[in-house]
Every structure is written in structure tokens, then in C-alpha cells.
């Protein structure tokens, strides 16, 4: 008799302790709930990430007011973490390390994106974000601003968690291997997909031999554009407190789309002019071409505990209240993610060795324009779980169910 894939739930017993360890860093007066379902997600009110939806719906002068009038349906100090039920993890054959990593990633959103904390005042919003709203709300909506902000938030939070909690590093390597396996059929197929996956991988910095091999499978053009835009996206790793830098995923997401729109309009900038930050705030790495090595500067180290320089820019935002890894999501990324212990649960991380980007060629405007049309995707723990479940359902020929936490009872059916 074949073994029931929904059994052996104790395999994932270490998940709860790993989650509670990170949750203990959040304020004690918050109301936390943990529930089990079919995937990874976090539900909360994010001070900055919540503006993403309103930027795509309202005129720039109405964004702050529109959100202030809205009701998220989530209490200000309520945080709900969802993780897959053990039976779902079992049937999807997720490793213990990858399972812990998915939960740690979501909790990282709560910590780094300041879930449940005070929303910015109008003057703070104007100073850090509004000035970067340069395209129309329709253009940001078509490009799926939420996707970009969430990806940058993911980079920031994994860097920070990896720096502050080195024991989590093997878990992040494990998630990366799981995600890469699911994405294998999509690598090298479209420019937009390759660009977003390469941006995610280089930003997070979880580099080992396997990751390096995957990175080389992304198109050269996509990797070149990641390098070219590095002075912008790497600003999410700027030093500072979590509170002071929580706006960065949103601000940098806006700036990335603004820069890509400018590249489409004027593909060949004057010689010597790279994609440097238009506000003159500098970047955490590289020259104008954005092709410097990861970890080569302090700012790329991510955010440290010091008060740091407060960025004069935007802030990070995700769909209001709902950040599931791809959900809005994070903050102060510190240092080289590979600083942590890379041994454990079979995850060997070799450190953050920046991939070789190759020589930058001429820009293909048609391909770059696809980014503004919302094309391409890069999986995160939440979307990867959805993809994994589709694969499993196809394999077993039925829907994956989420059982209650009661013991499964088998009955013999009598046929007349």
C-alpha cells in the first residue's frame, strides 16, 4: 500500500519554534494570530506598503488622503500569520528548512515593514514618496507596481533577517533552491521574467554554486539591465533603523519604473551618464553603470542598527493589509546574507559571490517595454507555494485539501 502523503505531520515540528523566535521581537501589545492554511501569507496594516494600491488608483495629490479615508479591515495592531498546514507541506514534499524559511520570510515582513505601526503623516509621505510619483496611475497599475514593491521588500527583509539571525541563512538557501526548481521551465523564456528573477536573486544575495548556475541561465540582456539599474534598487539596503527605512521598497519601486520608462523614451543616455539616483542621494553600490560587486560597500550591507542617514525619499508600499511575500513586503537589509552559518538542514551556502554580468550591449526597447506592461514574474514563498500545489494536484489528480488538525480516520465503504 502506498504511503499516505498527508501523514507524518511531526516532521515539521521545528517550524513553530522558529516562527515564535522571530515573533518575540515584535511589540508585546500587538495581537498576534497564527493559523494554518494552504500557503504562506501575512495579514496586517503596513504603514508604507499600503500606499501601493492607492498610487495605482488615485491622482498623486490624492494618494495620502485616499488611504487615510480607507478602512483596511485589519486592526492597527493586529498581525495574522498564515503558514501551510503540515499535511500540505508533507504532500508538497517541502523540506524542513524551506518550510521554516517560508515562515521566517513572512514574519520578516511584519518586522521590517513595520506591520501595525503608525502610518506616516502627510508631510512624511510627501517627503519620502510623493516626489517619486512621476508616471500616471494607469501606468503604475499596468506595470503592476505592487509586484515591484513586494520584490524589493523581499530583498530587504531577507538581507536583514539573515544578518540579525544567522541561523536563518540555511533556511533562505533552502527556499531559494525550492523556488529555482519550480521556475526551471520559465528560465530563459522571456526577457521580463528573466529580469525580475535575476533582480530578486542578485538583490537577496544567496549565492552558492547551484545559485550561480541558475543565474547564468537568465538572459544576458536581463542581467545587464539588473546591473545597470543597481544604483537604484540597491538603495533598499541603505543603512538606518527599520523605522527610518521602511519606505524604501516603495520609493525604489517607483524610481525603478520611472527609470525604465525613461529608458524606453531615451534608450541611449549621454556618455558617462548612468542610471544614478536622480535625486543625487547616491546608491549603495556601483558607478553609473550599476555593475559593482555585491557586498563591496557599506550601504549594500543593508541597514544597520545605527540611526543612519535618513533617506529623503519614498517609502515602501504594498497592497493594503495583505502582504504575502509577494505581498508588500520589508526593510533594513544588512550586510552580506552569507555572513550567517550556511550549514544546516542540508543547505550549504557559499557566500555572496556576485555573478558576472558580462558587457552591456545596446538596449532592446521592445523587451524593456514589456516590463511596463506588467509582464514577467519572480516567485516568492507565497506564489511558489501556489505553484507547488498546482504541480502536486496534477500529479495526484485531485485538489489538495487543507485538513483540520484532527487525526485522519479511514473508513471502509460498503458497496451494494
CB atoms under 10 Å from CB of 68, counted, come to: 12
pLDDT at position 7? 52
> Measured in whole angstroms, how far is the alpha carbon of residue 146 from the centre of its chain?
11
Looking at residues 157-184, what average pLDDT do you find?
Answer: 96
Q: Which of 64-78, 94-108, 135-149, 349-363 has the highest mean pLDDT?
A: 135-149
Look at residue 344 and tell me whether its pLDDT is greater than 80. Answer: no
**Residue 408 — φ and ψ, nearest 5°?**
-75, 130
pLDDT at position 267? 73
**200, 326 Cβ separation under 8 angstroms:** no
Looking at residues 42-63, what average pLDDT do you find?
Answer: 95
Instruction: Supply 366's cell numbers.
Output: 521592445
Spatial CB neighbours of 22, under 8 Å, sequence gap ≥ 6: 104, 107, 108, 111, 161, 165
**305, 241 Cβ separation under 8 angstroms:** yes
- Listed residue (302, 197, 292, 172) closest to 248, CA to CA: 302
Per-position DSSP letters for 186-233, written without gaps between them: GTTT-HHHHHHHHHHHHHH----HHHHHHHTTS-HHHHHHHHHTHHHH
- Listed residue (237, 127, 105, 290) closest to 179, CA to CA: 105
What DSSP element (H or E) covers 31?
A: strand 31-37
Look at residue 56 and tell me whether its pLDDT is greater than 70. Answer: yes
pLDDT at position 312? 44
Residue bearing the bigger pLDDT, 72 or 303: 72
**47, 114 Cβ separation under 8 angstroms:** yes
For residue 33, name the pLDDT band (cuts at 50, 70, 90): confident
CA angle 154, 169, 341 (to 5 degrees): 155
pLDDT by residue (tens digit) across 386-414? 999 999 989 888 888 776 655 555 566 66
pLDDT at position 37? 86
Look at residue 222 and tell me whether its pLDDT is greater than 50. Answer: yes
Question: In angstroms, rounded to a whole number, what is the distance separating the alpha carbons of residues 216 and 236?
Answer: 24
* Pairing mode, strands 78-84 and 31-37: parallel
Q: Where are the domains of the chain?
A: 48-71+121-381
Looking at residues 124-133, what average pLDDT do you find?
Answer: 97
For residue 49, name the pLDDT band (cuts at 50, 70, 90): very high
pLDDT at position 266? 83
Percent of the chain's residues with pLDDT above 90: 53
Look at residue 321 and tell me whether its pLDDT is greater than 50. Answer: no
Looking at residues 42-61, what average pLDDT do you find?
Answer: 95
Question: Which range has the worst mean pLDDT, 11-25, 146-160, 247-261?
Answer: 11-25
**Residue 108 — φ and ψ, nearest 5°?**
-60, -35
pLDDT at position 86? 85
**128, 120 Cβ separation under 8 angstroms:** yes
- Listed residue (129, 151, 145) closest to 257, CA to CA: 145
Question: In angstroms, rounded to a whole number, what is the distance separating the alpha carbons of residues 33 and 396?
Answer: 32
pLDDT at position 411? 61
Q: From residue 202, how far is each of 41, 195, 217 by CA, in Å?
A: 23, 10, 13
Look at residue 200 and tell me whether its pLDDT is greater than 90. Answer: yes
pLDDT at position 336? 44
The whole model's pTM is what? 0.77
Look at residue 282 and tell me whether its pLDDT is greater than 50. Answer: no
What DSSP element (H or E) covers 83?
A: strand 78-84
pLDDT by residue (tens digit) across 231-253? 999 999 999 999 999 999 999 99
Look at residue 287 and tell me whether its pLDDT is greater than 80. Answer: no
Question: In angstroms, rounded to a whole number, what is the distance separating the alpha carbons of residues 280 and 14?
Answer: 46
Three-class SS state of 109: helix
pLDDT at position 415? 60
Amino acid at each position: 500500500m502506498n504511503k499516505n502523503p498527508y501523514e507524518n505531520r511531526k516532521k515539521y515540528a521545528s517550524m513553530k519554534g522558529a516562527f515564535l523566535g522571530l515573533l518575540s521581537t515584535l511589540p508585546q501589545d500587538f495581537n498576534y494570530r497564527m493559523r494554518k492554511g494552504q500557503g504562506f501569507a501575512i495579514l496586517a496594516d503596513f504603514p508604507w506598503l499600503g500606499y501601493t494600491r492607492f498610487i495605482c488608483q488615485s491622482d498623486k495629490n490624492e494618494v495620502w488622503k485616499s488611504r487615510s479615508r480607507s478602512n483596511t479591515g485589519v486592526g492597527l495592531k493586529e498581525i495574522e500569520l498564515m503558514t501551510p498546514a503540515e499535511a500540505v507541506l508533507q504532500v508538497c514534499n517541502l523540506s524542513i528548512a524551506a518550510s521554516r524559511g517560508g515562515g521566517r520570510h513572512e514574519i520578516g515582513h511584519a518586522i521590517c515593514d513595520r506591520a501595525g505601526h503608525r502610518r506616516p503623516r502627510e508631510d512624511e509621505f510627501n517627503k519620502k514618496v510623493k516626489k517619486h510619483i512621476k508616471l500616471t496611475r494607469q501606468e503604475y497599475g499596468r506595470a503592476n507596481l505592487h509586484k515591484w514593491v513586494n520584490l524589493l521588500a523581499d530583498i530587504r527583509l531577507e538581507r536583514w533577517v539573515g544578518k540579525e539571525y544567522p541561523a536563518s541563512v540555511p533556511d533562505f538557501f533552502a527556499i531559494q533552491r525550492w523556488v529555482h526548481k519550480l521556475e526551471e521551465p520559465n528560465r530563459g523564456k522571456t526577457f521580463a521574467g528573466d529580469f525580475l528573477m535575476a533582480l530578486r536573486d542578485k538583490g537577496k544575495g544567496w549565492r552558492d554554486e547551484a545559485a550561480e548556475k541558475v543565474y547564468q541561465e537568465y538572459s544576458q540582456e536581463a542581467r545587464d539591465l539588473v546591473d545597470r539599474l543597481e544604483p537604484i534598487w540597491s538603495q533598499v539596503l541603505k543603512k538606518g533603523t527599520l523605522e527610518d527605512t521602511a519606505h524604501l521598497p516603495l520609493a525604489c519601486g517607483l524610481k525603478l519604473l520611472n527609470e525604465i520608462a525613461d529608458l524606453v523614451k531615451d534608450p541611449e543616455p549621454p556618455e558617462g551618464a548612468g542610471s544614478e539616483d536622480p535625486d543625487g542621494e547616491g546608491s549603495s553600490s556601483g558607478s553609473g553603470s550599476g555593475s559593482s560587486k555585491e557586498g563591496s560597500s557599506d550601504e549594500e550591507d543593508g541597514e544597520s542598527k545605527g540611526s543612519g542617514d535618513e533617506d529623503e525619499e519614498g517609502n515602501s508600499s504594498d497592497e493594503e493589509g495583505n502582504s504575502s511575500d509577494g505581498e508588500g513586503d520589508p526593510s533594513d537589509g544588512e550586510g552580506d546574507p552569507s555572513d550567517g552559518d550556511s550549514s544546516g538542514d542540508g543547505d550549504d551556502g557559499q557566500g555572496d559571490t556576485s555573478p558576472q554580468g558580462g558587457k552591456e550591449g545596446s538596449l532592446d526597447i521592445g523587451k524593456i517595454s514589456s516590463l511596463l506592461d506588467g509582464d514577467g514574474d519572480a516567485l516568492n514563498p507565497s506564489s511558489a507555494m501556489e505553484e507547488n500545489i498546482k504541480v502536486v494536484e496534477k500529479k495526484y489528480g485531485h485538489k489538495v485539501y487543507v485538513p483540520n488538525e484532527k487525526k485522519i480516520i479511514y473508513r471502509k465503504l460498503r458497496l451494494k
